[in-house]
Amino acid sequence: MNLGPTEEQQMVKDQVARFVDEEIKPNAAEWDKTHKHPEDICRKLGEMGIMGVAVSPDYGGAGMDNVTYVMCMIEISRGCASTGVIVSVNNSLYGYPVRVFGTHEQKEKFLAPVASGQVEGCYALTESGAGSDAAALRCRAVLKGDKYIVNGVKKFITSGNVARYCVLAATEHPEKGYKGLITLIADHDHTPGFSLGTIEEKMGILASGTAELVYEDAEIPAENLLGKTGDGFKQMMTGLNAGRIGIGAQACGIGRAVVEDCIEYAKERVQFGKPITSFQAIQWKLADMATELDAAELLLLKAAWMEDNDLDFEKESAQAKMYASDVAMRAAVEGVQIFGGYGYCKDYPAERHMRDAKICQIYEGTNEIQRVVIARKLLGAR
């Protein structure tokens, strides 16, 4: 068993790590404060191939694998969790369904610009009444001639305020339940009837916009249908599996940032005449964080490897996302504790990490839902 990265994987990881330390991490606090979308960074990451890591070069991507993607996501999120989730959505929630289910023409038109980092993509599933119960969505798409007429409101859409392209989940036949779901690709720059709704005021990941998308008799060409009617639910579920790997890697990166910051601070913080790193209470906190994060990374790499090898990775992606996000949250809480009073103040990164970590336990399926997925696979239930 070889758990080491290939030479190419290590080279890409090192390149991304340098970029993070030089251009992302020094700006993360300011982006958080101003809620600024890191557009220039996204363009540069696109030039590096990181906005479409596992996408073929024929469609604007880097042609690498999902193991490399996990490594890159951890490094990017170590520098800025907001940038991490933008990269994750481009690669997984948007990129995965277009890459896997799209036609050659759809990939050329809708995948290449996103995978090359020219523009952002987003994924619109969640509604006010459809979150964990993804099949309960009410957004309606009616085929009229060569267009779908779409009506509905999508909630909590990551990058929805900046994304040009959107993978949109809707129902064509509500009476058929989940069998009536479809997936459309919308070009928001050329979708009559589309408008941007509320931009949410959130606890964390503040440099990543979370938006409401409004479709009022919106017109989307019929040729933008992914697959066929009835494929939507299957596409939704497999896309979420891929997305969970990205979010787990985001969480792991946040945890890595917590450990780095805590070690640096604890070496300098003196109490009772000695650095607090000399106290066993601090040492044990750091040891627990590091151990759990290493375990989380191994789960993520396993899930990514299974995806790369066309194996069923539903359970593994759920395990990786659930565990990594729980670990990140525990690390973030302990990080604030190590920083003490300073950890509660915005002058230090500990409070930002704590705010950023929490959402990882919620989006891409709450951790309660992940446990349902895992148990269902263990019990052989459908």
Q: Does 22 qualify as catalytic in the annotation?
A: no
User: The tokens 């949250």 sit on which residue?
Assistant: 329
Dihedral (Cα; 35, 39, 41, 45), 10-degree rounding: 130
Distance of CA 377 to the CA centre of its chain: 23
Distance of CA 366 to the CA centre of its chain: 13
Strand 140-144 to 181-187 pairing: unpaired
User: The tokens 């000399």 sit on which residue?
Assistant: 278
Cα–Cα distance between 316 and 28 in angstroms, integer? 31
Strand 121-124 to 194-199 pairing: unpaired
User: The tokens 């009616």 sit on which residue?
Assistant: 142
Which residue out of 216, 219, 364, 368 is catalytically annotated?
364
Q: Which of 73, 80, 87 is nearest to 26 (CA)?
A: 80
Q: Which of 23, 33, 22 is nearest to 347 (CA)?
A: 33
Q: Which residues are catalytic?
A: 364
